[in-house]
């Protein structure tokens, strides 16, 4: 911006585009546009800093293109990735300089999800549904946060895509990026397509299947050339219609993105509530992820317990570890207790301490399970998480 006159650019029309770690930086730059500092859990973070020159120039951007970047560091363990134990040993711990759950304010400060507001610039996200480096669910979650804040966003799943590749830089996906940038940097006159979602049901007791149709979608001055679906549970599909089976409880966004022949794209959401018989607005208890991995040498593993589909009143739930090939007192510290959720609280953490040894042995497993809900809340799947201890001797 300080050299905008020299390079003949309009410093009031700046977009940022990045992939993976670059996507993370692009998203956080967009979400913090206009913010000087933020206070998280009592700690104040300076978002502008004092490094480099031209500090008088604005760091705000007018559009963001985020290719498969992390968005919520606290949710990175929701689905498997190439990092077996991301909270203890991964690029995330290198980024924040320590263990994620021991540095919650830093982890939140490094998550674009933390900063989302209605003032954010428009965002286009693209992510492969088979990405094993940054799980697809990271972009699903970020899209939902942007939607809640009424931020203009376009979310394009690359069905079967991994962590990058030619699919992202050619054909319809690339045309959608260029059309997005033209619209928000140049004021492109192309009229955006109008998506429409029809669902077979918006609520059910798990397991159940939802059928979705986009037959009512249309383009006012052209034709639709692509329709992309996501389902809020780490999955996507293409086509006029799609189906998805829900097996876990929660409230999940179904998104539809339609793209026209000029590359213009629009994303909308509908929500599906996956429940169990007897559930009330006091909520349903579940574990966040049904399976996680932890290195034997890790000091501990943190398991998130969620309260979904309601948070009225104070409720309680018990938890306990269950031996498998890994045994309490030998491989980990056996743990049990009761969690109390106050009115409005939706998640808590159980920390399990590991007991490393010097033996070469196969990977071992044990479980943490939820029992005995009280206060009006009930249990819903998944209620048990399998922990696999990875031998690193």
Domain end (from 275, 303, 321): 275
Q: Which residue has the higher pLDDT, 82 or 27?
A: 27
- The C-alpha angle with vertex 114 and arms to 22 and 16, in degrees rounded to 5, equals 30
381, part of any domain:
yes
pLDDT tens-place string over residues 115-140? 999 999 999 999 999 999 999 999 99
Q: Is the pLDDT of residue 187 over 80?
A: yes
The per-residue pLDDT for 316 is: 98
With contact defined as beta carbons under 8 Å apart, do 339 and 372 qualify? no
| pLDDT score, position 98 | 86
Q: 164, 186, 208: which is the final residue of a domain?
A: 186
- Does residue 315 sit in the same domain as residue 375? yes
**What does the pLDDT read at residue 83?**
87
pLDDT tens for 196-244 read 999 999 999 999 999 999 999 999 999 999 999 999 988 899 999 999 9
Whole-number Å distance between alpha carbons of 253 and 234:
11
How far apart CA 189 and CA 369 sit, in angstroms, is 55
What is residue 393's predicted lDDT score, i.e. its pLDDT?
66
Question: Do 326 and 224 belong together in one domain?
Answer: no
Asked if residue 288 and residue 269 are part of one domain, the reply reads: no
Q: How many domains does the chain have?
A: 3
CATH number at residue 248: 2.60.40.10
CATH number (domain holding residue 307): 2.60.40.2030
Q: Are 181 and 61 found together in one domain?
A: yes
Same domain, 178 and 202: no
How far, in Å, CA of 212 to CA of 208, rounded?
13
* Residue 83 neighbours by CB under 8 Å, 6+ apart: 76, 89, 90, 91, 92, 133
Q: Is 141 part of a structural domain of the chain?
A: yes
327 has a pLDDT exceeding 70: yes
Enclosing domain of residue 359: 284-390
Shortest CA distance to 292 belongs to which of 71, 74, 79?
79
Domain membership flag for residue 191: no
Instruction: Give the global pTM.
Output: 0.90
Ordered DSSP codes for 288-320: S-SEEEEETTSSEEEEEEEEES---S-EEEEEE
Closest listed residue to residue 159, CA positions, set 270, 235, 102, 99: 235
Q: Are 180 and 149 within 8 A, CB to CB?
A: no
pLDDT digits 0-9 by tens, 331-354: 999 999 999 999 999 999 999 999
Please provide the DSSP assignment of 342-368 as one string: PTT--EEEEEEEB---S-----EEEEE
From 161, 186, 211, the end of a domain falls on: 186
Most confident by average pLDDT, 85-94, 139-148, 356-365: 139-148
What separation in angstroms does the CA of 142 have from each of 10, 116, 125, 246?
Answer: 29, 9, 9, 20
Distances (CA, A) of 7 to 3, 4, 10, 152: 6, 5, 9, 30
Q: What is the rounded CA–CA span in Å between residue 12 and residue 313?
A: 48
Mean pLDDT for 64-71 is 98
* Per-residue pLDDT at 34: 87
Strands 250-260 and 224-230: antiparallel
Asked whether residue 192 is domain-assigned, the answer is no
Least confident of 43-47, 314-318, 352-356: 43-47
Claim to verify: residue 73 and residue 8 sit in the same structural domain: yes
Based on the fold, state whether residues 160 and 211 are members of the same structural domain. Answer: no
pLDDT mean over 277-304: 94
Instruction: Report the sign of the C-alpha dihedral through residues 138, 144, 231, 218, in that order.
Output: negative
121 plus 239 within the same structural domain: no
* SS3 label, residue 197: coil
Question: Is residue 159 located within the same domain as residue 221?
Answer: no
Residues 251 and 315 in one domain: no
Tell me, what's the pLDDT at 41? 86
Say how far apart CA 78 and CA 235 lie, in whole Å.
Answer: 13
Q: Assess if residue 238 is contained within a domain.
A: yes
Residue carrying structure tokens 């690029």: 91
Does residue 233 belong to any structural domain of this protein?
Answer: yes
At 77-93, the pLDDT tens digits run 888 888 888 878 888 88
Let me know if residue 89 belongs to a domain.
Answer: yes
- Over range 367-380, report the average pLDDT: 98
Query: What pLDDT shows up at residue 114?
Result: 96
Q: In this structure, are 107 and 210 located in the same domain?
A: no
CATH of the domain at 169: 3.40.50.1820
Among 114, 2, 143, residue whose Cα is nearest residue 47: 114
123 assigned to some structural domain: yes
pLDDT, residue 264, reads 95
Q: Are residues 32 and 146 in the same domain?
A: yes
């Amino acid at each position: 911006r300080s050299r905008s006159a020299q390079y003949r650019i309009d410093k009031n029309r700046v977009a940022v585009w990045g992939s993976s770690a670059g996507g993370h930086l692009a998203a956080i730059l967009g979400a913090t546009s206009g913010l000087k500092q933020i206070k998280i859990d009592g700690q104040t973070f300076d978002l502008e800093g004092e490094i480099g020159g031209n500090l008088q120039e604005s760091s705000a951007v007018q559009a963001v293109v985020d290719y498969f970047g992390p968005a919520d560091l606290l949710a990175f363990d929701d689905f498997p990735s190439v990092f077996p134990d991301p909270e203890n040993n991964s690029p995330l711990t290198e980024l924040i300089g320590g263990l994620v759950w021991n540095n919650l304010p830093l982890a939140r400060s490094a998550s674009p999800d933390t900063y989302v507001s209605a003032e954010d610039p428009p965002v286009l996200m693209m992510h492969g549904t088979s990405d094993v480096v940054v799980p697809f669910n990271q972009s699903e979650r970020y899209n939902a946060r942007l939607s809640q804040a009424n931020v203009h966003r376009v979310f394009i799943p690359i069905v079967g895509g991994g962590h990058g590749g030619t699919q992202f830089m050619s054909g319809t996906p690339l045309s959608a990026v260029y059309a997005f940038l033209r619209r928000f940097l140049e004021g492109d006159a192309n009229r955006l397509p109008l998506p429409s979602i029809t669902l077979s049901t918006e609520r059910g007791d798990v397991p159940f299947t939802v059928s979705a149709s986009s037959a009512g979608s249309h383009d006012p001055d052209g034709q639709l050339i692509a329709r992309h679906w996501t389902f809020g549970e780490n999955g996507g599909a293409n086509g006029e219609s799609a189906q998805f089976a829900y097996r876990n409880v929660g409230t999940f966004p179904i998104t539809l993105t339609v793209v026209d022949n000029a590359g213009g794209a629009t994303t909308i959401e509908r929500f599906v509530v996956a429940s169990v018989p007897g559930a009330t607005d006091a909520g349903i208890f579940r574990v966040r992820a049904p399976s996680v991995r932890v290195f034997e040498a890790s000091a501990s593993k943190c398991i998130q317990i969620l309260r979904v589909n309601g948070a009225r009143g104070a409720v309680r739930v018990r938890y306990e570890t269950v031996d498998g090939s890994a045994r309490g007192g030998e491989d980990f510290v056996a743990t049990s207790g009761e969690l109390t959720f106050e009115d409005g609280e939706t998640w808590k953490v159980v920390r399990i301490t590991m007991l490393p040894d010097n033996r070469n042995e196969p990977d071992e497993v044990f479980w943490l399970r939820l029992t005995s809900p009280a206060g009006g809340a009930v249990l819903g799947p998944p209620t048990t998480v399998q922990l696999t201890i990875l031998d690193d001797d």
